[in-house]
Amino acid sequence: MAQVKFFATLRDITGKREMEIKNVKNVAELLQHLYEMFGDEFRKEIEERNMILVNGKNILDLDGYETKIKEKDEISIFPPAGGG
Amino acid sequence: MYGYWGKILRVNLSTGEIKTEEFGEDFVKKWLGTRGFGIHYLLKEMDSKVDPLSEENKMIFSTGALTGTTAPTGGRYMVITKSPLTGYIAMANSGGFFGAELKMAGWDAIIVEGKSNKPVYLRIEDDKVEIKDASHVWGKRVGETERILTEEFGDKHVQIASIGPAGENLVKFAAIMNNGHRAAGRGGVGAVMGSKKLKAIVVRGHKRVEVIDRSKFISVVREKTEKLKNDPVAGSGLPSFGTAVLVNIINQNGLYPTMNFRYGQFKYAEEQSGEAMAKKYLKRNKPCYACPIGCGRVNDMDTVGETEGPEYESTWAMGANLGINDLASIIEANHLCDDLGLDTISTGGTLATAMELYDKGLLKQDDLGDAPPFRWGNTEVLHYYISKLAKREGFGDVLAEGGYRLAEKYGCVDCFMGVKKQELPAYDPRGAEGHGLGYATDNRGGDHIKAYLISPEILGYPYKMDPHDISDEKVKMLILFQDLTAVIDAAGMCVFTTFGLGADDYRDLLNAAFGFNLSTEEWLKIGEKIWNAERLFNLKAGLKPLEEDTLPKRLTDEPMPEGPNKGHVVRLKEMVPRYYALRGWNEDGSISEAKLKELGLEEYI
């Protein structure tokens, strides 16, 4: 069982701060699952740009959407965001 | 001339003399504006070794090339002077509406020199400039000062840059405030203003800033504004949650400095995040002049009423950095800092230093008497000591000197988390090593805004870089960010535009305003010149590069204890020599003769 955390606008779209998820082997599969669950609004918010962390590490510094998800991993999903 | 009036106001507060000086297009092509203009005057006219709080120090309030135009975010001004906190260059930048109003009054910059022997303010109504008595507002807070001086002027559209009690009392990290909550915050520029007994600059302008070809300029402005509006960060993320959207992002990435940079994650970050703030307190957004982003927050609190902020930095400085988990207290503390005229980052950093010293038993309760103990997480510390330090009362007098001098006094310089005596901002560089090199080499000391490598290393702009890569590519990216930020600052635009715009976009806007035909590389060369000129000022002021282009030991020698960056330090020693070489500097960190010649800086040596 992995833990998925949503941030910023994704919380309004999903109505959740976090959820548990089972039986996904990588980030691509996780996203597919979430797109089916939360629909086009969710997809549009993060499809082009996003920040996805697995245990605090950006998937772009790991294996991108192929990054594996294991039991007890924590996945943080952000829409594009910045500040300073 | 277009874009500028070619007019500089020179005010000598010792003699009361007010003069107008002129400049031409060549000066713009050489120095562009704000930081560029400022460093030119400081290098030309002032010994870099002067005491920052003496009458020999000069202050330049300068607009930028696009300030007062319709360019997106084109409303900014900067204050350039010698910092009493670092002893090096200070160039503090502020938004709001003051900068645009100054330009619309027909002035591109003001040089303030000398020192008045009684409190005064500068009243500017277009061409009419007067030095007026400010005894009646001396001692007043920023909000009250703005209210009284606006009433006195008799025009609600007047814009005011002023200091609060902190600046008057020469607190080494006092800010200059405008529009109540917008700060030219860092480096103690407010203390320099206080040392000159200059309480405020009040300005009202009725002129329109002209560009060379209005219709062409408007079409370029429209194109760039659309780009910003369509950008998911500038057009959506920042307006929705403000800069505090970063609290969760930086915390989840494991570089949210907690308890004076002991840790990289704060257990209660969620409760003080931009998301939490928007839900509990947000009343509306508040954009600065000509800004399509509108990241400013107006929050509503039972205790202080409507207030603005806190920004990400301030939320952290008075929250996680002190182990404090109480958003309401953080918002109130931020309001208090604004009203007293204090830099929130250095205020929080100084209090964090005190907590570290207290925790180590170096600062004892006996030193504080009945005052609140500096325990991690003690919210009492905020209101009590912020009020005391602004007035230099009791232990506040020690705090008013900043974290470095506090740590030195209690025999633990390593307890101070800063660079060149200025407190660090809200990113632990053990989770973004290029950003750490940025801290170490910043001309104004511990600072994030002059080269925001968090963008590529964490946020992925303009593209994602591994935060633990320290290759030449990373060092070159830092240099590019330093030079480009100097251009954006000198253009009078906000650095948040970089989320939606690239270097070519700034070129287009600048060329369209002035009718120049400079390439992106030529504009960046001006940025490089500004960076080097500021470095030259610091070197002349006594900077010892090999000792001072550095980071606190905690960040270079103590591995991050937990979280995603566990085990990492900043490998600074491996980066600094390559940074010097890629800058074209000597191995000792001084600027090579060839580089000075290439940039046309020999006349300033």
Domains of chain A, by residue range, sit at 2-78
Average pLDDT over residues B471-492: 98
**Taking CB atoms and an 8 Å limit, are B252 and A11 in contact across chains?**
no
Percent of chain B scoring above 90 in pLDDT: 98
**Taking CB atoms and an 8 Å limit, are A9 and B236 in contact across chains?**
yes
pTM of the model: 0.98
Average pLDDT over residues B309-333: 97
Average pLDDT over residues B196-206: 98
The rounded distance, in Å, linking the Cα atoms of B267 and B548 is: 33
Q: What is the pLDDT of residue A48?
A: 85
pLDDT at A84 exceeding the cut of 80: no
Q: Does B244 touch chain A (CB under 8 A)?
A: yes
Mean pLDDT of chain B: 97
The phi, psi pair for B98, rounded to 5°, reads -65, -45
Question: pLDDT band at B8, cuts 50/70/90?
Answer: very high
* Residue B503: both structure tokens together: 């270097």
Q: What is the pLDDT of residue B108?
A: 98
Number of Cα atoms under 13 Å in the Cβ half of residue B255: 29
Which DSSP letter does residue B341 get?
T
The rounded distance, in Å, linking the Cα atoms of B419 and B433 is: 15
Q: Does A3 touch chain B (CB under 8 A)?
A: no
Q: What is the pLDDT of residue B170?
A: 98
Percent of chain B scoring above 70 in pLDDT: 100
Contacts of B249 in chain A (CB under 8 A): 7, 51, 78, 81
Q: What is the pLDDT of residue B592?
A: 98
Q: Does B495 touch chain A (CB under 8 A)?
A: yes
Q: Where are the beta strands (DSSP E) in B246-304?
A: 282-285, 297-301
Average pLDDT over residues B214-234: 96
Q: What is the pLDDT of residue B164?
A: 98
The rounded distance, in Å, linking the Cα atoms of B67 and B185 is: 19
A84 closest CB neighbour out of B232, B248, B495: B495
pLDDT at B27 exceeding the cut of 80: yes
Contacts of B245 in chain A (CB under 8 A): 8, 81-83
The rounded distance, in Å, linking the Cα atoms of B237 and B351 is: 31
Q: Does B464 touch chain A (CB under 8 A)?
A: yes
pLDDT at B33 exceeding the cut of 80: yes
In angstroms, the Cα distances linking B244 to A2, B161, B239, B249, B272 are 27, 25, 11, 9, 8
B232 closest CB neighbour out of A11, A49, A56: A49
Contacts of B311 in chain A (CB under 8 A): 83
Average pLDDT over residues B433-462: 97
B445, B187 contact by CB (below 8 A): yes
A80 closest CB neighbour out of B232, B295, B454: B232
Sequence-distant (6+) residues with CB within 8 A of B553 are B414
* Residue A38: both structure tokens together: 């939360």
Helix H segments across B270-362? 274-280, 312-317, 327-340, 344-359
Largest Cα–Cα separation, chain B:
68
The SS3 of residue B313 is helix
What is the per-residue pLDDT across B380-400, written as a single tens digit (0 to 9) for each?
Answer: 999 999 999 999 999 999 999
Q: How far is B371 from chain A (nearest CA, A)?
A: 34
**Taking CB atoms and an 8 Å limit, are B275 and A8 in contact across chains?**
yes
Chain A residue with the nearest C-alpha to that of B255: A56
* Residue B204: both structure tokens together: 């009202």
* Residue A62: both structure tokens together: 């790991």
What is the per-residue pLDDT across B87-104, written as a single tens digit (0 to 9) for each?
Answer: 999 999 999 999 999 999
3-state secondary structure B544-589: CHHHHCCCCHHHHHCCCCCCCCCCCCCCHHHHHHHHHHHHCECCCC
Residue from A4, A9, A47, A63 whose CB has the most chain B CBs within 10 Å, to mutate: A9
In angstroms, the Cα distances linking B153 to B22, B119, B207 are 28, 18, 18
The SS3 of residue B31 is helix
Sequence-distant (6+) residues with CB within 8 A of B222 are none
Which DSSP letter does residue B3 get?
S
Listed by number, the residues of chain B in 341-370 with a beta carbon closer than 8 Å to a beta carbon of chain A are none
pLDDT at B176 exceeding the cut of 90: yes
**Taking CB atoms and an 8 Å limit, are B466 and A61 in contact across chains?**
yes
The rounded distance, in Å, linking the Cα atoms of B75 and B71 is: 8
pLDDT at A81 exceeding the cut of 90: no
The rounded distance, in Å, linking the Cα atoms of B258 and B262 is: 6
Average pLDDT over residues B42-57: 98
pLDDT at B529 exceeding the cut of 90: yes
Which DSSP letter does residue A68 get?
B
The question of ipTM being above 0.90 is answered as: yes
pLDDT at B535 exceeding the cut of 80: yes
CATH H-level, domain A2-78: superfamily:
Beta-grasp domain (3.10.20.30)
**Residues facing B174 on adjacent strands:** B342
B3, B69 contact by CB (below 8 A): yes
**Taking CB atoms and an 8 Å limit, are B452 and A84 in contact across chains?**
yes
B95, B497 contact by CB (below 8 A): no
